[in-house]
Chain A
Amino acid sequence: MYDSGKIIAGLLIFVLFVTIPVWYNRGSAGAVPDLELPKDAKTCVLPAAEIRAEHMKLLNVWRDEVLRDGERGTFEVDGKQYQKSLMLTCMKCHTSKVRFCDRCHDYTSVNPYCWNCHLAPVE
């Protein structure tokens, strides 16, 4: 093989270069965000796995039912009545947007525009 030295060195540099993100973030990238859960509330409106995966869809369903169909009734979870509302239900337990919502959203690099209008609790 001609110029094998140059080729192998080049390949090595190339491999190192394309794997920069892997070794540069070594150790830190995998850390799952640490969420601050509500202290006094034991149950969410859905089981944890479901609300984690589906909360954005649920919020859209609530929005449409309340705002467009005028269905403003409450629903019951574990004997307690809840409104279909981000500000009046979710954020009454999750009182810190910064230490709950933002931690996951930042980690997954999503930027929901809920907060352009909706107001988070004072922190």
Chain B
Amino acid sequence: MDTNRRNFLKVAGISTLAGLGGTTIVNRLIAGVDEAHAAAAAGAEMEQKAAETIRYGLVIDIKKFQQDPSLGEKAVNACHQIHNVPKFPEKRDEIKWIWMTHFENAFAESPNLYQDEANQTHLLPILCNHCDNPPCVRVCPTKATYRYEDGIVGMDYHRCIGCRFCMAACPYGSRSFNWRDPRPFIENINRDYPARTRGVVEKCNFCVERVQAGLQPACVEAVGDSKALVFGNLKDPNSEIRQILKEKQTIQRNPSLGTIPSVFYIV
């Protein structure tokens, strides 16, 4: 009995001390985490070497979407159809992987009081930027969202616990949360691709299931030969996407945040 009490007091005392010295301990823990990160980074360096040859990116030509507004619809429908993205009647439940929006929503860092008419009246597509330095990946406690070596930021719905840290971290609002069971709201189910369940976050996956099998993303395919969307390897200096980036001036969404998006816009 006595020794038990002694042990209890020891533990209680140590806990109190820990509580008082909380900040130091927390600082130490953070230092520990940093070390762990450093170790992981060292291991990842090998992988990184292999990854140095591919980084997928997308160029979006805003002018082409202005000239032919049906392109936007085609791209959005193709993506949402092939990936079983549900259509909820209520705006607050909305799930979207790619959608059309106004210039000032997409490029909040470039406000312009005297915007040109075309940008004022027309919409442009936005989607996950597949950031090279993705904050969503950094905050995800379960690694349900992660970056492939080829630069695609993917989601593993098996692991997602629905904490929505990633939604808070993503500065582009690229992610949607399934507040309700999406299954009854999927029009034309595609039985070659899974759906999602209530309580997980989802977003554009850069068509990883197609791209890693050698196909083009569904939205790119949907706009056909218009070249309104061009997908390719940013690390290959001879790729079509690099040629376009060389010839045309492009902008990225909120570049000052340092997320290094892989999606570029020709204004």
Interface residues of A (CB under 8 A from B): 63, 67-68, 70, 72, 87-88, 113, 116-119, 121-122
A122→B188 CA distance, assembly (Å): 13
**B150 interface residue, CB < 8 Å from A?**
yes
A87→B150 contact, CB < 8 A: no
A87→B148 contact, CB < 8 A: no
A119→B156 contact, CB < 8 A: no
**B155 CB, min distance to chain A CBs, angstroms:** 9
Interface residues of B (CB under 8 A from A): 84, 146, 148-150, 154, 156-158, 189, 191-197, 208-209, 212-213
Given A68-B146, A70-B149, A72-B213, also A88-B192 (CB < 8 A): yes
Point out the residue from B146, B192, B194, B213 that lies within 8 Å of A117, measured CB to CB. B194
Q: Which residue of B lies closest to A74 (CB)?
A: B213
User: How many A-B pairs fall under 8 Å by CB?
Assistant: 35
Q: Is the interface of B mostly helix, strand, loop or mixed?
A: loop
**A45 CB, min distance to chain B CBs, angstroms:** 18
In the assembled complex, which residues on chain A have CB atoms less than 8 Å from the CB atom of B213?
A: 72
B156→A117 contact, CB < 8 A: no
Can you name 11 A-B residue pairings with CB atoms under 8 Å? Answer: A67-B154, A67-B156, A68-B156, A70-B208, A72-B209, A117-B157, A117-B194, A117-B196, A118-B194, A119-B189, A122-B191
**A61 CB, min distance to chain B CBs, angstroms:** 13
In the assembled complex, which residues on chain B have CB atoms less than 8 Å from the CB atom of A121?
A: 191
Q: Which residue of A lies closest to B156 (CB)?
A: A67
Q: Which residue of B lies closest to A113 (CB)?
A: B197
